[in-house]
Amino acid sequence: MLKLGVNIDHVATLRQARYRSAQYPAGNPRELSGAIPEPDPVWAAVEAELAGAHGITVHLREDRRHIQDRDVRLLRQTIRTRLNLEMADVPAIIAFAEELKPDEVCLVPEKRQEVTTEGGLNVAGAPKSLARTVARLKKAGIVVSLFVDPDARQIRAATDAGADFVELHTGTFANARHELEEAAEIKKLTTAAELAHKLGVRVNAGHGLNYQNTPAILAVPHLETLNTGHSIMSRALFVGLRQAVREMLALMAPPTR
């Protein structure tokens, strides 16, 4: 069964837009500002789980622009599904992950200027330290995924680096302007998923998936989890988060005859 990981970064983005200084040092945040910083991504995770999400994804960025350390620590204690931590391959965040032990880590490229992750990791051109990071995280009992473009070189490099999973970047597919372009991207994703499977690496996918384009992604073989955030949160503004998650899960279920 195809699983849904709900990315809740966008809830933290909304909170930080107002409570930019909410860095959550120890203590009651109310004592810091008099107000309760809201909305709380931890609450969002509970709602997503109650609607049937199979996992919760957060990206702890180096600049802490949305998710805060406090959020990840509370999620670790409270969620009942799987915690997937997206992060850059940098020493301070690696140490944080080793201590916190999320169920999974997805290593992503990270640029300060970008609004969101813009593409897959260049695993083929990455320093040897990437394979060392994968080994370190696996040694801590964490399942490791590498976010890559659907490109054979990157899939082979991810295998060589020891990844358990690749998460196929679906951003180019999501940005397709017409059906022909979309079909070409599905073909690329399919070839990449088949190669990963043949090499013994498991396959997830994500980025830019929404209620319109998710049905087409179901044609890609070997997918285990779709990680989706922005579109679910956008719909949640109008129908509520539980309903938005349920609607996405319904789209992902194979038709019953």
Q: Are 65 and 29 in contact (CB under 8 A)?
A: no
Rule CB under 6 A: is residue 207 a binding residue for ligand PXP?
yes
Rule CB under 6 A: is residue 97 a binding residue for ligand PXP?
no
Tokens of 131: 């394979």
Rule CB under 6 A: is residue 59 a binding residue for ligand PXP?
yes
Q: Are 225 and 55 in contact (CB under 8 A)?
A: yes
Rounded to a whole number of angstroms, the minimum distance from the CB of residue 10 to ligand PXP is 7
Rule CB under 6 A: is residue 7 a binding residue for ligand PXP?
yes
Single out the residue of 72, 229, 241, 248 in contact with ligand PXP (rule: CB under 6 A): 229
Rule CB under 6 A: is residue 191 a binding residue for ligand PXP?
no
Q: Look-up: residue for tokens 């990449």?
A: 192
Rule CB under 6 A: is residue 209 a binding residue for ligand PXP?
yes
Rule CB under 6 A: is residue 4 a binding residue for ligand PXP?
no
Exposure string of 132-166, with b = 16+ CB inside 10 Å and e = fewer, is ebbebbeebebbbbbbbbbbeebbbbbbebbbbbb
Rounded to a whole number of angstroms, the minimum distance from the CB of residue 213 to ligand PXP is 11
Give catalytic status of residue 207 as yes or no: yes
- Decide whether 37 or 229 has the Cβ nearer to ligand PXP: 229
Single out the residue of 71, 165, 206, 244 in contact with ligand PXP (rule: CB under 6 A): 206
Rule CB under 6 A: is residue 225 a binding residue for ligand PXP?
no
Rule CB under 6 A: is residue 109 a binding residue for ligand PXP?
no
Rule CB under 6 A: is residue 108 a binding residue for ligand PXP?
yes
Give CA–CA dist 164/134, Å, rounded: 9
Helices 41-50 and 9-18 pack at an angle, to 10 degrees, of 150
Left (φ > 0), alpha (ψ -120 to 50) or beta: where does 56 sit? beta
Give catalytic status of residue 197 as yes or no: no
Closest CA to 122 of 161, 148, 92, 90: 148
**Kind of pairing, strands 104-107 and 143-148?**
parallel
Q: Look-up: residue for tokens 């406090």?
A: 70
From the list 47, 86, 104, 185, the catalytic residue is: 86
Single out the residue of 13, 81, 117, 133 in contact with ligand PXP (rule: CB under 6 A): 117
Positions marked catalytic = 59, 86, 207
Q: List contacts with ligand PXP (CB under 6 A).
A: 7, 9, 59, 86, 106, 108, 116-117, 147, 167, 206-209, 227-231
